[in-house]
Amino acid sequence: MFEKIFQLRAHDTTVRTEIVAGLTTFLTMSYIIFVNPAILSSTGMDRNAVFVATCLAAAIGTLIMALVANWPIGMAPGMGLNAFFAFTVVKGMGYTWEQALGAVFISGAIFVVLTLTGVRAWLIKGIPNSLRSAIAAGIGLFLAIIALSSADIIVANPATKVTLGDLSAPGPIFAILGFFIIAVLDAMRVRGAILIGVLSITLLSMLLGHNQFHGVFAAPPSLSPTLFKLDIAGALNTGFFHVILVFVLVEIFDATGTLMGIAKRAGLVTPDRPGRLGRALFSDSIAILFGSFLGTSSTTAYIESASGVQAGGRTGLTALVVGVLFLAALFVSPLASSVPAYATAPALLYVAGLMMRELVEINWSDVTEATPAALTALIMPFTYSIANGLAFGFISYAVLKAFTGRIREVHAATWLVSALFIIRFAAFPG
């Protein structure tokens, strides 16, 4: 059956190899079932319902990838997109989480259309490499400031805006310890280092009396607090124009870059043989819609899938195993509700550091490339908004190229995005 569905022999792999690869991928990305509820519940969403939505969205998205595209890639709510959803759209701009879910749905629908029409490929081709790298690094910085503040390692200060928190307090101590556990284990190539770090700090805090144990296994909680609660009409409010634009742009760059990178590493695509890239792009587009129905932020392909590819995963059977394991994770909701913020903060901070690797891909010797990239990365954490970072980056890139006689280097897609952000600032300057 597996041979017929996934063509194992054609990909020079076996059922055992694919199962091991699937387990490896799940261990490296399963931290999201603890981190995503912690982030989205800060908006007032029911934490247990978000936990269920996270597991189901990851399972459905990954199973679609397995059966439609036959690629070994795991899907789950994306880091960065969930932070934008919670801290910018809801807490920063004052919209309801129902409206934010509506924006996720609309962006997903647009994403599907862009994929089917080929516009997605046109946009990807037209966005400068320097800005792509800066966007990833900027989202990393954005996650870092969220992680540090949630662990009280940095706190507000009226004179300096932010300052160092009380490092003798339990929260910061646990967070710092968790970060080093993750970093050391990852350096030693231990699979599931991030997950081990989160669970270790959770257990230690319980043993020392700083956290309450709610159990490990139980029937899945109710999904009703978030299921089909998206407010599409509210999201169509003109104030959501740039929110939807940001969701679409980040989804395009994040998902497409991840899919291409992992597929190349697995030998599934070459310049002359795109393989099932079209099906993979369609699969990750559809997954966003399911996530919005369930009650979570945008679902995307996970770069952690590279660990499964490294373990030999080459087909959708790897993704099938990941999807089934996410379904099994539905029964550990008590454990998920026991994880404190200072246990998930180290995971956020470590992922932030990994994302900042992209800075090395920027041509720092070219001012017209480096300056927009720097603005993109810096504006995101300093204004607490991924949207502002994108706007500053695209507009400054177009302006610098135009006024230095290099206007031909600016692709039409970059002009289009820049113009959309200028219209947004003109209509909503705040």
Task: Show the tokens assigned to 217.
Answer: 């296994």
In the prediction, which pLDDT does 418 show? 92
| 178-193 mean pLDDT | 92
Contacting residues for 286 by C-beta, under 8 A, at least 6 apart: 61, 64, 108, 112
One-character DSSP codes across 298-354: -EEE-TTHHHHHHTT--SHHHHHHHHHHHHHGGGGHHHHHT--HHHHHHHHHHHHHH
For the stretch 99-109, pLDDT in tens is: 999 999 999 99
**DSSP label of 381:** H
Per-residue confidence (pLDDT) for residue 421, from 0 to 100: 86
Identity of the highest mean pLDDT range in 111-125, 160-174, 253-267, 274-288: 160-174
How far is CA 278 from each of CA 8, 283, 393, rounded to the nearest angstrom?
20, 9, 29
- pLDDT-derived band at 275, boundaries 50, 70, 90: low
How does the average pLDDT of the chain come out, rounded? 89
pLDDT bracket for residue 306 (50, 70, 90): confident
Residue 255, pLDDT score: 76
Ranked by mean pLDDT, the top range of 73-77, 138-142, 332-336, 423-427 is: 73-77
Statement: residue 426 has pLDDT above 80: no
CA distance linking residue 152 with residue 176, whole number of Å? 11
Tell me the torsion sign for CA atoms 165, 171, 175, 176: positive
Report the pLDDT value the prediction gives residue 222, as an integer from 0 to 100.
96
Tell whether the model's pLDDT for residue 373 goes beyond 90. yes
pLDDT over 80 (residue 258): no
Which tens digit of pLDDT belongs to each residue from 194-205?
A: 889 999 999 999
pLDDT given for residue 415 in this prediction: 94
| 272 pLDDT more than 60 | no
* Single pTM value for the model: 0.83
**Residue 35 burial (CB count, 10 A):** 27
Q: Shortest CA distance to 195 belongs to which of 20, 33, 78, 23?
A: 33
Structure tokens at 152: 């009280």
pLDDT for res 273: 58
The helix or strand, by DSSP H or E, that contains position 76, with its residue range, turns out to be strand 75-77
Contacts of 4 (CB under 8 A, 6+ apart): none
Q: What integer is the mean pLDDT of 137-145?
A: 89
Residues paired with residue 77 on neighbouring β-strands, in sequence order: 299
Pairing relation of β-strands 154-157 and 161-164?
A: antiparallel
